[in-house]
Chain A
Amino acid sequence: MYVAVKGGEAAILATHDLVAEARRGDPAVPEILVAQIREQQALACARVMNEGSLYDQDLAALALKQSQGDVIEAAFLMRAYRTTLPRFGSSEPLDTAAMAIRRRVSATYKDLPGGQVLGPTYDYTHRLFDFALMDEGSEAAPRKAPAPLDATMPRVPDILGAEGLMEAEEPPEGDPRPFDLTRDPVSFPADRDVRLQSMARGDEGFLLGLGYSVQRGFGGTHPFVGEVRVGEVAVEFVPEELGFAVDLGDITLTECQMVNQFQGSKEVPPQFTRGYGLVFGHSERKAMSMSLVDRALKARDFGEATNYPAQQDEFVLYHADNVEAAGFVEHLKLPHYVDFQGELELIRRIRKEREERLAQEQNAMPEAAE
């Protein structure tokens, strides 16, 4: 008898080997170490931690190594691992006012308590290649700060808030535990905890584009960077059986608070409103984009029109997730020949019927005079 020739499984296994070979590249070049990625590609690791929703620098570095530097694939690895981890509970709210600052800039005040701290930033590098990096052995000289930073650095929105000019951040009634979109399905309209969570793990490029669209007029906000701060914050956890907070360690965070105008309403005098972004690691672009879109998504709360994509929660939340988006876009590679056959059958039949109809009409028509 005749049987179908099958090779699916062998072909799949072969792809795994080929990927491993491609990942390693030229074996004459030394293999990259996870620690090297963690230490020397920290901004890429931060992006993987954000979009993978898991703060673990070693795993982020491993994910980047395993994915050949494909950030979305790396975030996918992080998430697929994260989903299997047991949960012990939720940490105490983080206090970013108590952040050990590495960088802090405000665009709204020339000077303020704690001052402007430029810290490590590409902002003022001229984008000229440093060809010295082509060679190994480049050693950065450790810099010592000329003077220790101020111990307290109030957050700019808090300064405005003390004057009553800033929209207050009130927890929702009863201060419920925040929604967890990795455990429960989202419904719309989505509350702010859901929106912020979704954006924190959302694609940096997507949020950047949306934030930019707001600036260009597709969403009517007029943002100022109240403050961007980068540094280390302690994570504390209260175990049920102890009843007091235990310090779990520090994580690096970037926080951005945008200050926007608001005309006020009958009940509320004119005041500034807030766009908020908080992300893992040093990720200013992401935090800023997030805070632009956060403010845009508040449009409904302030009775503003919601005509543009950045103001529409369902649009932003469903499309910000790059792991989901990548999966669905890339699934188009899968066989679809059953459905395509249906389309072929239809289009051939409609064309055939059309030709027959036209031929009939042609025959029915009297001969045209020549």
Chain B
Amino acid sequence: MTIHQMPADNTKPAYNYAYLDEQTKRMIRRALLKAVAVPGYQVPFGSREMPLARGWGTGGIQITAAIIGPADTLKVIDQGADDTTNAVSIRRFFERTADARTCEATDDATIIQTRHRIPEAPLKPGQVIVYQVPTPEPLRRLEPREAETRKMHAWAEYGLMQVKLYEDIARYGEITKTYDYPVMVNGRYVMAPSPIPKFDNPKMHMSPALQLFGAGREKRIYALPPYTSVRSLDFEDHPFRIQSWTQPCGLCGAGDSYLDEVVIDDQGGRMFVCSDSHYCETRRAEGHRGTMLGDAAASGLVEETTP
């Protein structure tokens, strides 16, 4: 039973389905439609004060609340994992307020709300991925005043961004942005992809899924319709490249996934494991074994179950 369906004689105050009132949902829905019509442009919206803290996913939560319905299955991840505390907390929020059906399998989800990652399993047509965005303005570090950055977007004046990236190259021999790496959308707007690692940037390009971005504190919504061009900014002599590791996942042996580093002792011991927990688990279920699975079991990271 969802909270809004509570009987009228219940004395506790009742909240609407998915927490937000219908007027607010309409306002967010209108912003979403404009966002998909102008890919990469940040639509200002009347972001509401939410019962979760600003900076903790209120933009993503408002978008999910405005689109979710009884036919949906929701997956929530933070750092790629379903079990991180904030992901658990947000999943609980939708279970409580929208009676949401939830899942961990990327394939089963119709809506994926994420913080900092795009799942490893390719997204499919019909899926919606909702990104939590702390800083929607890709030019903010170069120009903190919104009055100015708005003009830069209006006139597609992105020279400052090119200069900044080139300064990096001059100083370090490469662009040193490792996450929230700026992209050019549909050849028109420079967009912040949210703090996903640049490893995930290529997944946004021509994705068959609808990608929605919500910044609650900064009150901005933007979007990438399916099959939209998303190019990571680079230079001909310094092409964009993603992170790579010298070793595969210690648990499942994957060599194509983004890895988290786990410190296993104070002797410099390290283990690298998939950040996408469901991807890793699926691979292990298929029989893939990493070289450090035993160590991980010994240190309580995983446990052996009898099939």
Given a CB threshold of 8 Å, the question of whether A touches B is answered with yes
**Interface, chain A (partner B; CB < 8 A):** 1-9, 11-12, 76, 79-80, 82-84, 86, 182-189, 314, 323-324, 326-331, 334-339, 341-346, 350, 353
Asked whether B251 is an interface residue with its Cβ less than 8 Å from the other chain, the reply is yes
Query: Given A83-B49, A185-B46, A327 and B217 touching (CB < 8 A)?
Result: yes
Query: How far is it, in angstroms, between the C-alpha of A5 and the C-alpha of B301 when the chains are bound?
Result: 6
Q: Please tell me which one of the listed residues A314, A330, A335 contacts residue B53 in the complex, with CB atoms under 8 A apart.
A: A330
Give the one of B54, B88, B116, B305 with max A CB within 10 A: B54
Query: How far is it, in angstroms, between the C-alpha of A330 and the C-alpha of B217 when the chains are bound?
Result: 13
Check B79–A337 contact: CB distance below 8 A. yes
Query: How far is it, in angstroms, between the C-alpha of A342 and the C-alpha of B44 when the chains are bound?
Result: 30
Check A331–B56 contact: CB distance below 8 A. yes
A-facing residues in B260-307 (Cβ within 8 Å): 260-261, 275, 277, 280-281, 284-285, 293, 296-297, 300-305, 307
Query: Given A1-B305, A328-B55, A345-B245, A188 and B49 touching (CB < 8 A)?
Result: no
Check B303–A12 contact: CB distance below 8 A. no
How far apart are B116's CB and chain A's nearest CB, in angstroms?
5
A-facing residues in B157-181 (Cβ within 8 Å): 172-174, 176, 178-180
How far apart are A51's CB and chain B's nearest CB, in angstroms?
12
Query: How far is it, in angstroms, between the C-alpha of A331 and the C-alpha of B45 when the chains are bound?
Result: 22
Interface of A is mostly: helix
Residues of B contacting A7 with CB < 8 Å? 83
Asked whether B67 is an interface residue with its Cβ less than 8 Å from the other chain, the reply is no
Check B173–A353 contact: CB distance below 8 A. yes
Q: Which residue of chain A has its CB nearest to the CB of B145? A: A314
How far apart are A145's CB and chain B's nearest CB, in angstroms?
41
Check B78–A337 contact: CB distance below 8 A. no
Asked whether B75 is an interface residue with its Cβ less than 8 Å from the other chain, the reply is no
Query: How far is it, in angstroms, between the C-alpha of A182 and the C-alpha of B304 when the chains are bound?
Result: 51
Residues of B contacting A82 with CB < 8 Å? 49
Give the one of B45, B217, B284, B307 with max A CB within 10 A: B217
Give the one of B146, B198, B220, B300 with max A CB within 10 A: B146
Residues of B contacting A4 with CB < 8 Å? 83, 277, 280-281, 301-302
Check B92–A335 contact: CB distance below 8 A. no
A-facing residues in B94-142 (Cβ within 8 Å): 115-117, 134
Residues of A contacting B300 with CB < 8 Å? 5
Query: Given A327-B56, A330-B55, A342 and B199 touching (CB < 8 A)?
Result: yes
Check A341–B261 contact: CB distance below 8 A. yes
Check B15–A185 contact: CB distance below 8 A. no
Q: Which residue of chain B has its CB nearest to the CB of A84? A: B15
**Interface, chain B (partner A; CB < 8 A):** 13, 15, 19, 21, 27, 44-51, 53-56, 58, 78-80, 83-89, 92, 115-117, 134, 145-147, 172-174, 176, 178-180, 195-199, 217, 219-220, 243, 245, 251, 258-261, 275, 277, 280-281, 284-285, 293, 296-297, 300-305, 307
Query: How far is it, in angstroms, between the C-alpha of A231 and the C-alpha of B100 when the chains are bound?
Result: 49
Query: How far is it, in angstroms, between the C-alpha of A300 and the C-alpha of B199 when the chains are bound?
Result: 45
Check B15–A341 contact: CB distance below 8 A. no
Query: How far is it, in angstroms, between the C-alpha of A330 and the C-alpha of B54 when the chains are bound?
Result: 9
Residues of B contacting A323 with CB < 8 Å? 49, 53-54
Q: Which residue of chain B has its CB nearest to the CB of A8? A: B88
Query: How far is it, in angstroms, between the C-alpha of A184 and the C-alpha of B301 when the chains are bound?
Result: 46
Check A1–B304 contact: CB distance below 8 A. yes
Q: Which residue of chain A has its CB nearest to the CB of B16? A: A84
Check A342–B243 contact: CB distance below 8 A. yes
Query: How far is it, in angstroms, between the C-alpha of A330 and the C-alpha of B219 when the chains are bound?
Result: 18
Could you list some 5 contacts between A and B, CB below 8 A? A8-B88, A182-B49, A185-B220, A339-B195, A341-B258
Check B217–A324 contact: CB distance below 8 A. yes
Query: How far is it, in angstroms, between the C-alpha of A331 and the C-alpha of B58 when the chains are bound?
Result: 12
Q: Please tell me which one of the listed residues A84, A188, A189, A338 contacts residue B179 in the complex, with CB atoms under 8 A apart.
A: A338
Check B49–A2 contact: CB distance below 8 A. no
How far apart are B124's CB and chain A's nearest CB, in angstroms?
23
Q: Please tell me which one of the listed residues A3, A12, A76 contacts residue B281 in the complex, with CB atoms under 8 A apart.
A: A3
Check B178–A314 contact: CB distance below 8 A. no
How far apart are B68's CB and chain A's nearest CB, in angstroms?
18
Q: Which residue of chain A has its CB nearest to the CB of B176? A: A346
Check A344–B261 contact: CB distance below 8 A. yes
Check B146–A345 contact: CB distance below 8 A. no
Residues of A contacting B198 with CB < 8 Å? 342
Residues of B contacting A11 with CB < 8 Å? 85
Check A5–B302 contact: CB distance below 8 A. yes
Check B55–A331 contact: CB distance below 8 A. yes
List 19 other contacts, CB 8 Å, given A327-B56, A342-B197. Answer: A2-B251, A2-B284, A3-B302, A11-B85, A323-B49, A324-B54, A326-B54, A327-B58, A330-B55, A334-B56, A335-B79, A335-B86, A337-B260, A338-B197, A339-B116, A339-B195, A342-B178, A350-B172, A350-B174
How far apart are A33's CB and chain B's nearest CB, in angstroms?
20
Check A83–B48 contact: CB distance below 8 A. yes
Check B293–A334 contact: CB distance below 8 A. no
Query: How far is it, in angstroms, between the C-alpha of A329 and the C-alpha of B56 when the chains are bound?
Result: 10
Q: Top 5 A-B pairs ranked by shortest CB distance?
A: A327-B54, A342-B178, A331-B55, A327-B53, A185-B44
Check A314–B146 contact: CB distance below 8 A. yes
Query: How far is it, in angstroms, between the C-alpha of A307 and the C-alpha of B304 when the chains are bound?
Result: 64
Residues of B contacting A335 with CB < 8 Å? 78-79, 84-86
Query: How far is it, in angstroms, between the C-alpha of A323 and the C-alpha of B238 when the chains are bound?
Result: 42
Check A338–B79 contact: CB distance below 8 A. yes
Residues of A contacting B15 with CB < 8 Å? 84
Check A79–B293 contact: CB distance below 8 A. no
Q: Please tell me which one of the listed residues B78, B92, B117 contacts residue A334 in the complex, with CB atoms under 8 A apart.
A: B78
How far apart are B82's CB and chain A's nearest CB, in angstroms?
8
